[in-house]
Structure 1
Amino acid sequence: MKLVRYGQSGREKPGIVDEDGAIRDLSAHVTDIAGHALTAEGLAAIAAIPTASLPVVTDPGRYGPCVSGTGKFICVGLNYADHAAETGSAIPEEPILFMKATSAITGPNDNVIIPRRSKRTDWEVELGVVIGDEARYVSEADALDHVAGYCLINDVSEREFQAERGGQWTKGKSADSFGPIGPWMVTRDEIVDPQALKMWLSVDGVMRQNGSTKTMIFGVAFLVHYISQFMSLQPGDIISTGTPPGVGLGMKPPVFLLAGQTIRLGIEGLGEQSQLTVDAA
């Protein structure tokens, strides 16, 4: 299933994408794509609804973030061997974890806002993992049972804030609009192998990232297992699993975003995003 949230910011409705690509309204059955709806039981209940019986949304307008009620937005740094190489960093012995503020979450096609005094805003196409059933001290073998599905994420970053303002990565990752997610969440059963997905990102039509989740250092199952040893993972929590090479920071010389540019990105089977960059007011 492809589950979506559509409509005006803060007033999104839940929906499902049918076989013809049309959005069907789920609001008579679930209040949101959040909480219990993301558990195995909740997803089974949605799957049992005859999609053809649901109202067609003729004009969905804006796509919102594909899940709601996210309590934790957990990111993994330097998780692609080829990306670590382009930044001159050593391969991590354990996953590098940091948090992105949930207030950074936006819709997949909403504007990316370049923060005040920013000179080094950067792009990162990433595979997002959405938690379904609570995960606490889970084994790697059982980890994927706790995943509701996957989504596309642009882990927008401000490199100076990230690396030169006291060493706190969260500062460079959490500005408003720095977490576009969607356009939809694809349930786990539809992604045969999350470690074999092509991914790409372009800026103003110039291809910048062209990689695959196969070069992840730590795979999805291991990450869910690993993170659950340090904190419980709840329905709607998101894990952003790292980016392949081609970020602006890794270019020689480095290239960063300016207002008025268009970012496009996609992951095989998970759809595409398109964002216009604008300066903060």
Structure 2
Amino acid sequence: MSLVKRGTVYGTLLNFRGELDALGPKMNEAPYKAAPQAPVLYVKPANTWTENGGAIALPAHVAEVEVGATVAMVMKSAREVAGYLLMNDVAIPHESLFRPPVKFNCLDGFLGIGDRIRARNEAGDPAVFKLEVRVNGELKQTVRFSQLVRPAEKLLADVSEFMTLAEGDMLMLGCDVGRPRVRVGDRVEIKMPALGTLTNTFVAEAA
């Protein structure tokens, strides 16, 4: 299944239980003083998009980045999911909690996008999705979507309460803790049988 129209790509923060557990008491500190009551979203603009098999360039000042293996819902309409797609939501390691971390998440090429959209009725229940993340062929992380705070349908319903998604928009389900870190020269493969394999290599930015 191919994506005829590619719209806006949205990331979701704090949607894995491990993320919330890792923050612990920080969630109750100023300025928020509580865990978020609605989904926390951010945008991965078009400058971040890298196709499957493409190289992701690291600027000279960035020694390493985090791999964010996840799955995105691809929208058919405002509330209807066309299918699911693998993504690698790359970010510079940081601990920013208080505003959208644009300078860490939105560098050129910092989103690997799979080329295989699996229709909703073929992919199965997202709650049982499991991704394997390999760096240079070695298994570094297993992401289990049974650990989501908001499962896919709940996430979509809650997001739809405050914004309207359009055809081709993509809503990521979130990234778990334990994200592998990679450097220039590393090759990352994110794999799930139903969705194929997303592969990206990390290279030095051209001078």
2:14 equivalent among 78, 82, 86: 78
- 1:158 counterpart residue number: 92
1:168 equivalent among 100, 105, 124: 100
**Cα distance, 1:277 vs. partner?**
0.6
Change over 3 Å in CA distance of 1:128–1:261 after alignment to 2: same
**Cα distance, 1:156 vs. partner?**
0.7
Q: Is structure 2 residue 126 aligned with structure 1 residue 194?
A: yes
Q: Is structure 2 residue 207 aligned with structure 1 residue 275?
A: no
State the TM-score, normalized to the length of structure 1: 0.64
Change over 3 Å in CA distance of 1:87–1:178 after alignment to 2: farther
- 2:65 counterpart residue number: 121
Task: Give 5+ residue unaligned stretches, structure 2.
Answer: 28-34
Post-superposition CA distance 1:77-130 (Å, at most 9, x none): 121112443465656543221111122112111112113422341101101110
State the TM-score, normalized to the length of structure 2: 0.85
Task: Give 5+ residue unaligned stretches, structure 1.
Answer: 5-32, 36-68, 136-142, 249-255
**Cα distance, 1:167 vs. partner?**
4.1
Q: Secondary structure at the match of 1:163?
A: coil
Map 1:72-151; keep pairs closer than 5 Å.
72-86=8-22, 90=27, 92-133=36-77, 135=78, 143=79, 146-151=80-85
Q: Secondary structure at the match of 2:127?
A: coil
- Find the aligned partners of 1:87 and 1:123 in 2 and give their Cα distance: 19
Aligned-pair Cα RMSD in Å = 2.2
Greater per-residue strand proportion? 2
Contact 1:83 1:246 in 2 (8 A): no
Q: Secondary structure at the match of 1:189?
A: helix
1:224 equivalent among 153, 156, 164: 156
Q: Which has the higher contact order (CA 8 A, sep 6+)?
A: 2
- Find the aligned partners of 1:207 and 1:84 in 2 and give their Cα distance: 24
- Find the aligned partners of 2:125 and 2:203 in 1 and give their Cα distance: 36
Question: Which structure's CA Rg is the greater one?
Answer: 1
Give identity over the alignment, percent: 23
